[in-house]
Amino acid sequence: MAKILIADDSRFQVELVASGLRQKGHEISVAQDVVQAGMLALRNSPDLIVLDVNMPGGSGIEVLKRLRRSAKTQNIPVVVVSGSCDNDVQHVAMELGAVEFLRKPVDVEQLSSLLTGLLSAKEREKALH
């Protein structure tokens, strides 16, 4: 189905999301810090990135900024996740082009529904061009 990059340093969160999405047939890759997240996004061209705000080596917000500046990754949908209830972070993530902001622990069914909608929209867009 879809290639999904999960960028999160929480093993619990990664396992929760990855196992749920694998059961639905998606291919999962995992980055545990901001450097890996940027490299895997460029190398793998995922269909969706699930990006944690707080990771080793920097901020998921900085990764999102870099993704949006690169021609290769600027159109990849990014779902930002955070355990924090900081509305400023949510606002910044959405301003930078995140398609959704979810609180941890992530509801896998909600994420899967969002992914289905994004993939359907992507397919419709391809058909138009």
pLDDT digits (tens, 9 = 90+) for 37-60: 999 999 999 999 999 999 999 999
Domain limits, the chain: 3-128
Query: Rounded to two decimals, what is the model's pTM?
Result: 0.93
Please name which of 28, 52, 31 lies closest in space to residue 40, comparing C-alpha atoms: 31
Into which CATH architecture does domain 3-128 fall?
3-Layer(aba) Sandwich (3.40)
pLDDT in tens, 8-31: 999 999 999 999 999 999 999 999
Would you state the pLDDT for residue 125?
75
